[in-house]
Amino acid sequence: MKNLLSGISKANGALLENSELNTILSKLVAVLGASTDVDRCYIFTNKMVDGQLFLDYTHEWCKEGIEPQIDNPDLQNVSYEMVPGIYEELFNGRHMYGKVADSDNSYFREAMEFQGILSYLFVPIFYNNLFWGWMGYDDCTVGKIWNSDEADALFSVANNIGLRLTREKAERENTLALERFDLSVKASQQGLWEWDIANNTLHYSVIYMEMIGYQHYEFEHTYENWKTRVHPNDYPIVEIALNAYLKRQLPSYTSEFRFLHKNGYYVWVRGSGVAKWDAAGNPIYIVGSHLDISQLKYQQEYLEVQRNEFNLLLNSLGEAVFRLNSENQITFLNNYWKEISGHDTRECMLKEIDSYFLEEDVEAIRENIRKLKSVASQRSFIEVRLKHAKGNWRWVQMVVKEFGNPGENDYFIAGSIIDVHDKKLAFEKEKELAELKSGFVSLTSHQFRTPLTVIFSNIELIEFYTEDVDPILYKRIRKSAGQIKGEVDRMTELMNNILLVGRYDSNQLQYNLKPLYLSPIIDSIVQTYFANEPDKRKILVKDNARHVKVSVDEMLFTHVLTNIISNAFKYSAGSDNPELVVSELPGIVEIRIIDKGIGIPENELEKVFNSFYRATNTISYMGSGLGLVVAKQFMELHNGSIVLESELGKGTTVILSLPLS
């Protein structure tokens, strides 16, 4: 027993060492094996695999002459079913000992005898109430007889192993927690500090020193030195916050201030800390952190400048800008609102916006806002009458657009209100004048058409009745009659163009765009109007787009193309045949009418699209100055375009573009 107690003492001493646990356990089985005078001392550790408990043979000591089993693979991953009768006893915290031959468990007895074991002692090891494993003592030579005192003494060692395991686990968890804390501090880039108030000393972390550019030995660790580095304008704020906390008027200490860097510039810092208090409620020390928020402060300053500039811009707009919540209540107005409505912006907050409009327009406003739900991401426009605080009203245009999803917290409607009163009245007046103009033009055109028809008819009668007069006189009459009929035709064309322009300006021109093949229309125009030119010239057609359709009004397009081809013949008399080239380009069909005529001065290319303007080199040619105006208007109705390319004395190219159907 004396040897056993000595061995137990040594084992307990080993468990207190700072060595690695496996080393201690190996030492422990050797000490206890020798002190108990057994042949083998060992440890089995438990492990759970797929919900089933297994054993691993992990530590062993053998008396000289006994074959070691530590490397025996059959003793790894051993199920408790292979050692029957052990689990129930050990799991319930009871040790087992005795002679193998005396065991009532035949399975256990056979298993032990197979290994040559005569007597045994098994002691369970627990930690944190978990069955961790067990220690075994085998006698293979004399059949040692164990007594309860020895078993209880060795059980105490097993309990101490459990305590060491608990300590190991706690140390691992503590180390892991410290590692995580250290990583968290490093990741957060917070400098830690501790102020020992009684001794007036401060301790700083590495990150803290890096933040202000100092090495530890360069910086005096006192509160007096620390406060001299705080920006003079900020220190009073810091001192008030710190004193209020130390007097327990605040639950914690926090403040933002500028701290002087070693290189002479200031670092913006967010400081925070908590104190340890004595029994009397006095602070013993404070621990805290400093976080560099310079970048955040610079961003805040930048955003503040941007916000001020935005507000200045917003309030200088000549339109009222508003924001509504989901109930159509006003949550924001810029300054122009008061100018246009006479109402103070603050008094209008959380009032429904439609309450500031004439009753006749309220439902239209509500319906306009409701439409936003069905037309996602679109703006909605409406002209309504805004009531002024003085009682009068003005026409305004309201533009609204929704943001976010209805029913969610971030949903709102934004828009603007633009004063269009004067413009609307002017538009109505202009519309009235346009209608008067259109009526006058129509009336005048018809009034001119009758006498022109009479003149034309009478000239033809004069030609008919003078066929038998003197040939020389008849020739003169025919010449004069031809000149008169030419002028009548020119006046008729002028009246027709004026009538078309008037209808276009008053939006009374009717047209119907249909998807048609362009080639048959072009062929018909060429054959009908330009097959028998007086000078025998032809229009040369090169059609490379016979298989495509365009959206076109056949009558209007015929008028455009006839006018352009007529000009090509008129202004290129005596030169080569004009050309007409049709090409398919991405999304459009392009028609080029090319002549080798007199051309157009470069500085007049845009002017020829003005009403009644004629190029300075066309004075000797008949014309009204309206043909290109009408052509441009008709091409715009087709969502197309007309462009001129010309070089004086070398010719002109007119480019017509129509979108594909």
Residue 504 has pLDDT above 60, yes or no: no
Place of tokens 């955040």: 296
Say yes or no: 9 and 141 in one domain.
Answer: yes
The CATH code of the domain that includes 270 is 3.30.450.20
Say yes or no: 413 and 430 in one domain.
Answer: no
Q: Does the residue 196 lie in any domain?
A: yes
User: 182 pLDDT band (50/70/90 cuts)?
Assistant: low
Say yes or no: 275 and 338 in one domain.
Answer: no
SS3 state of residue 548: coil
What DSSP string runs through 192-236? EEEEETTTTEEEE-HHHHHHHT--GGGS--SHHHHHHTB-TTTHH
What percent of the chain shows pLDDT beyond 70?
A: 90
The CATH code of the domain that includes 642 is 3.30.565.10
Q: Which of these three, 390, 419, 448, is where a domain ends?
A: 419
The CATH code of the domain that includes 165 is 3.30.450.40
Q: Does the residue 311 lie in any domain?
A: no
Using an 8 Å Cβ cutoff, are 654 and 539 in contact? Answer: no
Q: Does the residue 622 lie in any domain?
A: yes
Question: What pLDDT, on a 0 to 100 scale, did the predictor assign at position 411?
Answer: 84
Say yes or no: 285 and 337 in one domain.
Answer: no
SS3 state of residue 651: strand
Q: Does the residue 182 lie in any domain?
A: no
Say yes or no: 14 and 162 in one domain.
Answer: yes
Say yes or no: 547 and 461 in one domain.
Answer: no
Average pLDDT along the chain: 85
Convert 461-496 to b/e letters by CB count within 10 Å (16 or more is b): eebeeeeeeeeeeeeebeeebeeeeeebeebbbbbb
User: Model-level pTM?
Assistant: 0.40
Question: What pLDDT, on a 0 to 100 scale, did the predictor assign at position 184?
Answer: 62
Between CA 29 and CA 211 the distance in angstroms is 54
Number of domains in the chain: 5
Say yes or no: 79 and 156 in one domain.
Answer: yes
Q: Measuring CA to CA, which residue among 358, 446, 431 is closest to residue 396?
A: 358
Rg of the chain taking only CA atoms, in angstroms: 53
- Retrieve residue 498's tokens: 């004026």
Residue 249 has pLDDT above 80, yes or no: yes
Sequence-ordered alpha helix ranges (H) in 259-412: 294-315, 336-341, 359-374
Say yes or no: 271 and 331 in one domain.
Answer: no
Q: Which of these three, 505, 527, 557, is where a domain ends?
A: 505
Sequence-ordered alpha helix ranges (H) in 506-638: 518-529, 554-570, 627-637
Say yes or no: 158 and 217 in one domain.
Answer: no
User: 60 pLDDT band (50/70/90 cuts)?
Assistant: very high
Amino acid in position 267: V
Which residue has better confidence, 184 or 420? Answer: 420
Say yes or no: 590 and 574 in one domain.
Answer: yes
Convert 428-454 to b/e letters by CB count within 10 Å (16 or more is b): eeeeeebeeebeebbeebeeeeeebee
Q: Give 417-465 pLDDT, tens digit per residue.
A: 998 888 888 878 877 766 666 665 555 655 666 676 767 677 777 777 6
Q: What angle do CA 530, 535, 539 make, to 5 degrees?
A: 35
Say yes or no: 438 and 408 in one domain.
Answer: no
- Average confidence (pLDDT) over 166-193: 75
Between CA 212 and CA 420 the distance in angstroms is 60
Q: Does the residue 312 lie in any domain?
A: no
Burial class (CB in 10 A: 0-12, 13-18, 19+), 119: buried
Residue 583 has pLDDT above 90, yes or no: yes
Between CA 646 and CA 607 the distance in angstroms is 13
Question: What pLDDT, on a 0 to 100 scale, did the predictor assign at position 166?
Answer: 87
SS3 state of residue 642: strand
Q: Which of these three, 461, 481, 505, is where a domain ends?
A: 505
Residue 497 has pLDDT above 60, yes or no: no
Q: Give 114-134 pLDDT, tens digit per residue.
A: 888 999 999 999 988 899 999
Say yes or no: 575 and 433 in one domain.
Answer: no
In which domain, by residue range, is 263 found? 189-298
Residue 268 has pLDDT above 90, yes or no: yes
Half-sphere exposure of residue 334: CA atoms within 13 angstroms, side-chain side: 19
Q: Does the residue 184 lie in any domain?
A: no
Question: What pLDDT, on a 0 to 100 scale, did the predictor assign at position 492?
Answer: 61
Q: Does the residue 279 lie in any domain?
A: yes
Q: Give 291-317 pLDDT, tens digit per residue.
A: 889 888 899 888 888 888 888 888 888
Amino acid in position 102: D
